[in-house]
């Protein structure tokens, strides 16, 4: 019944490509289209040009199987929803397919977009497909076939890529039932797709099932085997590469191995071991696509170590190909435009283009022997050696300070006692009002920053302009009658990059952009060495702001976990060790702020949830060290000093206990959209500290009315006594306009005053 097919094996590949363009060309073209400054033809031609460049570069670099279809105008999960006919009914009336697609991604005046959430434990966000009674799956593969045809016309050894049915359904939001309830409807569509891809000339197809690196139930594991047995049963199909990434496949590995798929991709940079492969003998009949080159981080691969792993794998698999561990979507394009990194640091790095070359080198060593790439292996060896011995990676003072810490260093006095002392010290009214930190980034701020960068103004002039912004923001808050003020963060381009630029042990890139979602790109700093703080980073700004008012101004810092989550991190020591180093630097800043007169200091941890490991078994250890690093950063102050934190999401789930563990005197959280349910969850977790559930949603330009805010506050007061409740928006205000901000905050203050 099951027909065997014998495809040509390949030796060197990547699992997917970035798409924004080396200079963010797609971002610019897409935003021009949205703004009506360019038409769809322009956008399509920029996209086609980028695909052409990307594919040709990979072929020229020596890869012998090249993924196609990982291009996207916005997001690959949204593309899969289109492929499967699963866009929500509310966009169906939009006739133009591109506009319909963007409406699902971003919404319109009248249509709500799909929700967005994190792609596994990466910093990429995907759009969450909605599956409900109205969803009638159907196959719409035009995009994939067009891209396949393009690649074939270029003579590229193309391997179409799709997200698999299990991952799609598990990531979707379901109106009813369990995620895999609709699997039986999807499998025939995928079968049909495979047949058509074979007819279009595809010899291989890659089906991505990253969900296989998460905990699966026995029923789900059985579905893995059944689905891929079924998909592999027709003879007129391409060979199937079942791709997993971001972790180890654990119990799913035996299920995959038992299916007739021809190849399996496993992530050896994220937990897959040679032993795990050896323990599943059925894998030996397949092509093993070994993810040896880390697709998520920017370090040069230790090629020697990778070759010994590959050699060991050859003991358990007949054929081994070399690959990136995941799509190259998550790393910058190339080191070439980086001109300011020092040579040593640069020699330790590999961005996208350099990673492709590493894959070529490893594959060549496997097929032709190491002599064929002796020079490349030597360079990699020297770089690894230079990195191991660089003094910037081993700062004795920091290490000695960390080694000398005791449990007392991360423990403050009991919360009740602090509450009493802070009440006397701060003299705040009941239901104190405050904001989360940033105020609108005005064009004056952007112009000043650009002028400084271009050398048109000097540092003194820049500081003067930022101080003028602070004056305005303080005056505004005084006028509005807020109780706890902020300086507005005008001097910060980004809440992580700002600190990375001031701390030793971090480097920043000129052009190291990676897609965060849609057209939004970020430039994560590189944490490469031991972290130290050469000078105070925020005291002058906060001190200046405090000099303009008698009300307390919050010191404003980013927490260690968030700094790590939004950076490329060291891979030569546990993340927990890096977190402690960052925490120590923040601790020094916290105590300097206190010494300088700050009575309240906020340490933001919006990313606490993001680094949560995918496997349940690994979560408690993470939560323990992340909580400890926050406490290390914040516990160095007197009982009279009030520590605030801000968390940026409303689905707390597994981290709810950790929030209490942070032991911050006041926690502000995003709650406007979750109707304060989060407060009940916090109570259930034994949380009894100050809390400011956001009383309105800053993600929308609407001005909330006094009544609306009062309703929010009354709901909150059902769960939290007035003595613990703070009144604040649900996040920073930097993306909002000044007019709406002023109107919204006026209503917020009015609501709090009326309730008092």
The verdict on 669 binding ligand GLN (CB under 6 A) reads: no
Q: Count CB neighbours of 485 within 10 A.
A: 25
Max CA pair span of the chain: 82
The verdict on 490 binding ligand GLN (CB under 6 A) reads: no
The partner in contact with residue 438, picked from ligand GLN, Zn ion, none with C-beta cut-offs of 5 to 8 angstroms by kind, is ligand GLN
- Report d(CA 357, CA 376) in Å as an integer: 10
Instruction: Kindly determine how many residues on this chain lie close enough to bind ligand GLN according to the rule CB under 6 A.
Output: 13
Q: Which range touches ligand GLN (CB under 6 A), out of 180-188, 199-207, 706-714, 730-738?
A: 730-738
Give yes or no for a contact between 569 and 436, defined as CB atoms under 8 angstroms apart.
no
75 is in an annotated binding site: no
Among 262, 604, 665, 681, binds ligand GLN (CB under 6 A): 604
The verdict on 692 binding ligand GLN (CB under 6 A) reads: no
Q: Count CB neighbours of 636 within 10 A.
A: 19
26 is in an annotated binding site: yes
Instruction: Kindly determine how many residues on this chain lie close enough to bind Zn ion according to the rule CB under 5 A.
Output: 3
The verdict on 555 binding ligand GLN (CB under 6 A) reads: no
Give yes or no for a contact between 209 and 167, defined as CB atoms under 8 angstroms apart.
yes
- Report d(CA 637, CA 653) in Å as an integer: 30
Among 326, 579, 731, 733, binds Zn ion (CB under 5 A): 731
The verdict on 733 binding Zn ion (CB under 5 A) reads: no
User: Least CB distance from residue 498 to ligand GLN, whole Å?
Assistant: 11
User: Two tokens at 419?
Assistant: 């509450």
Among 355, 548, 599, 734, binds ligand GLN (CB under 6 A): 734
- Report d(CA 715, CA 718) in Å as an integer: 5
Sheet holding 600-604, edge to edge: 554-558, 600-604, 642-647, 666-669, 690-693
User: Least CB distance from residue 708 to ligand GLN, whole Å?
Assistant: 21
Indicate the residue whose CB is closest to ligand GLN: 732
User: Two tokens at 413?
Assistant: 């006095």
27 is in an annotated binding site: yes
Q: Is 699 a catalytic residue?
A: yes
Q: Which range touches ligand GLN (CB under 6 A), out of 455-463, 652-660, 688-696, 731-739?
A: 731-739
User: Two tokens at 620?
Assistant: 């408690």
- Report d(CA 597, CA 641) in Å as an integer: 10
Give yes or no for a contact between 322 and 9, defined as CB atoms under 8 angstroms apart.
no
Facing residues of 668 across strands? 646, 692
User: Least CB distance from residue 646 to ligand GLN, whole Å?
Assistant: 5
Q: Which is nearer to Zn ion, 557 or 731 (CB)?
A: 731
Q: Which is nearer to ligand GLN, 237 or 734 (CB)?
A: 734
- Report d(CA 319, CA 35) in Å as an integer: 50
The verdict on 678 binding Zn ion (CB under 5 A) reads: no
End-to-end alpha carbon distance in the chain: 76
The partner in contact with residue 437, picked from ligand GLN, Zn ion, none with C-beta cut-offs of 5 to 8 angstroms by kind, is ligand GLN
- Report d(CA 4, CA 232) in Å as an integer: 9
Q: Which is nearer to Zn ion, 220 or 681 (CB)?
A: 681
The verdict on 631 binding ligand GLN (CB under 6 A) reads: no
Facing residues of 183 across strands? none
Among 148, 213, 310, 495, binds ligand GLN (CB under 6 A): 495
670 is in an annotated binding site: yes
User: Two tokens at 228?
Assistant: 């891929």
Question: Which helix (H) or strand (E) is 236 found in, with range?
Answer: none
Among 335, 377, 431, 731, binds ligand GLN (CB under 6 A): 731
The verdict on 247 binding ligand GLN (CB under 6 A) reads: no
User: Least CB distance from residue 701 to Zn ion, whole Å?
Assistant: 17
Residue with tokens 């807020």: 482
Residue with tokens 């977009």: 113
Q: Which is nearer to ligand GLN, 67 or 559 (CB)?
A: 559
- Report d(CA 384, CA 394) in Å as an integer: 15
731 is in an annotated binding site: yes
**Binders of Zn ion in range 584-613 (CB under 5 A):** 606
Q: Binding string to Zn ion for residues 67 to 106, with x set by CB under 5 A, is what?
A: ----------------------------------------
User: Least CB distance from residue 694 to Zn ion, whole Å?
Assistant: 8
- Report d(CA 287, CA 289) in Å as an integer: 6
Give yes or no for a contact between 660 and 683, defined as CB atoms under 8 angstroms apart.
no
The verdict on 648 binding ligand GLN (CB under 6 A) reads: yes
**Exposed (0-12), middle (13-18) or buried (19+): which is 231, by Cβ within 10 Å?**
buried
Among 378, 369, 356, CA closest to 302: 378
User: Two tokens at 308?
Assistant: 């010994």
The verdict on 561 binding Zn ion (CB under 5 A) reads: no
User: Least CB distance from residue 602 to Zn ion, whole Å?
Assistant: 11
The verdict on 745 binding ligand GLN (CB under 6 A) reads: no
- Report d(CA 457, CA 445) in Å as an integer: 13
In whole angstroms, what separates CA 233 from the centre of its chain? 37
Among 88, 165, 437, 555, binds ligand GLN (CB under 6 A): 437
Among 542, 648, 709, 733, binds Zn ion (CB under 5 A): 648
Among 65, 72, 438, 667, binds ligand GLN (CB under 6 A): 438
Rounded to 5°, angle at Cα 653 from 651 and 658: 110
Give yes or no for a contact between 159 and 206, defined as CB atoms under 8 angstroms apart.
yes
Catalytic residue among 381, 394, 675, 699: 699
Among 606, 636, 693, 729, binds ligand GLN (CB under 6 A): 606
Binding residues for Zn(2+): 646, 648, 670, 731
In the complex, the residues that contact ligand GLN under the rule CB under 6 A are 436-438, 489, 495, 556, 604, 606, 646, 648, 731-732, 734
Q: Which residues are annotated as a binding site for 5-methyltetrahydropteroyltri-L-glutamate?
A: 24-27, 118, 520-521, 566, 610
Binding residues for L-homocysteine: 436-438, 489, 604
- Positions touching Zn ion (CB under 5 A) are 606, 648, 731
The set of catalytic residues is: 699
């Amino acid at each position: 019944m099951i027909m065997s097919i014998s495809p040509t094996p390949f030796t060197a590949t990547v699992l997917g490509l970035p798409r924004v363009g080396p200079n963010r060309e797609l971002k610019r073209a897409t935003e021009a289209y949205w703004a009506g400054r360019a038409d769809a033809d322009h956008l399509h031609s920029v996209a086609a040009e980028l695909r052409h460049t990307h594919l040709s570069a990979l072929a020229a670099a020596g890869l012998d199987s090249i993924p196609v279809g990982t291009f996207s105008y916005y997001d690959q999960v949204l593309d899969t929803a289109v492929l499967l006919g699963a866009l929500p009914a509310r966009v169906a009336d939009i006739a133009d397919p591109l506009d319909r697609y963007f409406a699902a991604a971003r919404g319109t005046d009248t249509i709500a977009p799909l929700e967005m959430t994190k792609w596994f434990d990466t910093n990429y966000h995907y759009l969450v497909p909605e599956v409900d009674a109205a969803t009638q799956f159907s196959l719409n593969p035009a995009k994939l076939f067009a891209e396949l045809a393009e690649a074939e016309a270029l003579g590229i050894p193309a391997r179409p890529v799709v997200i698999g049915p299990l991952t799609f359904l598990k990531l979707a939001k379901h109106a009813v039932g369990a995620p895999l309830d609709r699997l039986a409807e999807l499998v025939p569509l995928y079968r049909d797709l495979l047949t058509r891809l074979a007819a279009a000339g595809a010899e291989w197809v890659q089906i991505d099932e990253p969900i296989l690196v998460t905990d699966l139930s026995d029923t789900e594991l059985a579905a893995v085997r059944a689905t891929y047995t079924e998909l592999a049963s027709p003879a007129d199909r391409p060979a199937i590469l079942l791709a997993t990434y971001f972790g180890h496949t654990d119990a799913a590995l035996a299920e995959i191995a038992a299916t007739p798929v021809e190849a399996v991709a496993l992530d050896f940079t994220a937990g897959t071991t040679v032993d795990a492969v050896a323990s599943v003998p059925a894998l030996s009949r397949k092509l093993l696509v070994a993810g040896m080159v880390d697709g998520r981080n920017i370090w040069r691969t230790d090629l020697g170590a990778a070759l010994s792993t590959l050699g060991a794998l050859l003991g358990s698999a007949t054929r081994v190909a070399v690959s990136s561990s995941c799509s190259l979507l998550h790393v910058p394009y190339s080191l070439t435009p980086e001109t300011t990194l020092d040579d040593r640091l640069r020699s330790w790095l590999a961005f996208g283009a350099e990673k492709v070359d590493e894959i070529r080198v490893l594959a060549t060593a496997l097929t032709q022997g190491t002599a064929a790439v002796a020079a490349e292996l030597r360079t990699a060896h020297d770089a690894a050696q230079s990195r191991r011995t660089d003094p910037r990676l081993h700062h004795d003072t920091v290490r000695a300070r960390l080694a000398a810490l005791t449990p007392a260093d991360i423990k403050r006095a009991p919360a009740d006692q602090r509450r009493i002392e802070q009440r006397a010290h701060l003299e705040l009214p009941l239901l104190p009002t405050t904001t989360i930190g940033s105020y609108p980034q005005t064009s004056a701020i952007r112009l000043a920053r650009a002028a400084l960068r271009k050398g048109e103004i000097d540092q003194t002039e820049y500081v003067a302009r930022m101080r003028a912004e602070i004056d305005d923001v303080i005056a505004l808050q005084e006028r509005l009658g807020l109780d706890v003020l902020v300086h507005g963060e005008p001097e910060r381009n980004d809440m992580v990059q700002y600190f990375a630029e001031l701390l030793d042990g971090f480097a920043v890139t000129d052009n190291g952009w990676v897609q965060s979602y849609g057209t939004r790109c970020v430039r994560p700093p590189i944490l490469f060495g031991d972290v130290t703080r050469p000078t105070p980073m925020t005291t002058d700004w906060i001190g200046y702001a405090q000099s303009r008012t008698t009300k307390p101004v919050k010191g404003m810092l980013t927490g260690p976990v968030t700094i790590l989550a939004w950076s490329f991190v060291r891979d030569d020591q546990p993340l927990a060790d890096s977190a402690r180093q960052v925490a120590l630097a923040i601790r020094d800043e916290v105590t300097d702020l206190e010494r300088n007169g700050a009575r309240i200091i906020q340490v933001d941890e919006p990313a606490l949830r993001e680094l949560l490991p995918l496997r349940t078994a690994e979560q408690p250890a993470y939560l323990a060290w992340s909580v400890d690093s926050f406490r290390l950063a914040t516990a160095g102050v007197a009982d009279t000093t009030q520590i605030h934190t801000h968390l940026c999401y409303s689905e707390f789930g597994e981290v709810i206990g950790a929030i209490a563990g942070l032991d911050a005197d006041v926690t502000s959280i995003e709650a406007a959209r979750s109707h304060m349910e989060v407060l009940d969850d916090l109570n259930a977790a034994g949380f009894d500290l100050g809390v400011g559930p956001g009383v309105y949603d800053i993600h929308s330009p609407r001005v909330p009315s006094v009544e609306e805010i009062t309703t929010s506050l009354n709901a909150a007061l059902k769960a939290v006594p007035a003595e613990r409740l703070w009144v604040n928006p649900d996040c920073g205000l930097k993306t909002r306009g000044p007019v709406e901000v002023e109107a919204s905050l006026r209503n917020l203050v009015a609501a709090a005053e009326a309730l008092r």
